Amino acid sequence: MPEAAEGVSPGKVSAIDAEAFRGAMASVCAPVSVVTTMAGDRPHGTTVSAFASLSLNPPMVLVSLDRSSELLRHIRRALLFGLNVLHTDQAALAAAFARKGESKFDGISWVLDSGVPRLDGCAAWLACSVRRMVNGGDHTVVFGDVLSVAHAPAPPLTYYQRRFGTHQAHQDRGEGQQQPRPRQPVLQERPGQPEAASPWPGLTADSPEALFAFS
């Protein structure tokens, strides 16, 4: 059973305005990935942005999933999950896996790797076994030990202010020159990619940021 988070009072009602909180979290530029697992011989997955590296020794990551998530229920049983970190040309894939339904994998190229679905062409891939699950509010944080890893030199897909984009490094202006404050966030929108309009019909909310930005 998932352990209760220390220092968190169950059922405590926050006085923070929900819309203000969503707005603040939408200001965080987050990477986008698809978390996957197997339920018998059937693949399952959902789009998340609340994930992070946790430890180098041993290699560990964490991902946050809604406590009512069907994917979380399958991960509890399988005790395995895959983390498919999307690249900037995979916004349509992120949108497909953010919706509810049993047909998310229809027409998707994937293979079984270390017991979990690995999507084709992602910027990075990690297969993980569940170390621990900790409840935090309406979400559960899943701690995973990394079993296998791979990556490719591809720019990441990011999500900021309810729009997909990617990271762009600051240009080197040379030593001694004043660095002007950017007039707008360093984020490139990708022409022709779907925008995450608010709301998208049928979107799930399987990460805290998804709750704030996808809905």
Whether the pLDDT of residue 149 is over 80: the answer is yes
Domain count, the chain: 1
pLDDT at 165 over 80: no
Span 189-209, average pLDDT: 43
Domain membership flag for residue 112: yes
Beta strands in 114-183 (DSSP E): 116-119, 124-136, 139-151, 158-160, 163-167
94 assigned to some structural domain:
yes
**14 lies in some domain:** no
- CB within 8 Å of 57: residues ≥ 6 apart: none
50, 61 in Cβ contact below 8 A?
A: no
- pLDDT tens-digit series, residues 121-146: 999 999 999 999 999 988 999 999 99
Q: What is the pLDDT of residue 175?
A: 54
- Does 67 map to a domain? yes
**Is it the case that residue 1 has pLDDT exceeding 60?**
no
Residue pLDDT, tens place only, 43-71:
999 999 889 999 999 999 999 999 999 99
- For residue 2, the 8-state DSSP code is P
Write the CATH number for 180: 2.30.110.10
* b (16+ CB within 10 A) / e for 98-113: beeeeebbeebebeeb
Task: Quickly state the pLDDT bin for 179 (edges 50, 70, 90).
Answer: low
What is the residue-averaged pLDDT of the chain? 78
CA–CA gap between residue 34 and residue 80 (Å, rounded): 14
What value does the mean pLDDT take over residues 82-93?
A: 93
Give the pLDDT confidence of 17-30 residue by residue, as tens digits: 888 877 777 777 78
Residue 12 lies in a domain: no
In a domain, residue 31? The reply is yes
Tell me what pLDDT residue 173 has: 55
- Could you give the CA distance from residue 75 to residue 92 in angstroms, rounded to a whole number? 24
- Say if CB 153 and CB 133 are below 8 A apart: no
* 3-state class (DSSP) for residue 157: coil
Total Cβ atoms within 10 A of residue 195 = 13
For residue 49, give the nearest of 67, 59, 69, 35 by alpha carbon.
Answer: 35
Segments forming the whole domain that contains residue 208: 19-213
Positive or negative CA dihedral for 88, 167, 127, 140? Answer: negative
3-state secondary structure of 23: helix
What number of residues does the chain have? 215
Domain assignment of residue 10, yes or no: no
Q: Is residue 95 part of a domain?
A: yes
Q: Which residue has the higher pLDDT, 175 or 167?
A: 167
The phi, psi pair for 95, rounded to 5°, reads -65, -40
pLDDT for 78 equals 97
The model's pTM: 0.74
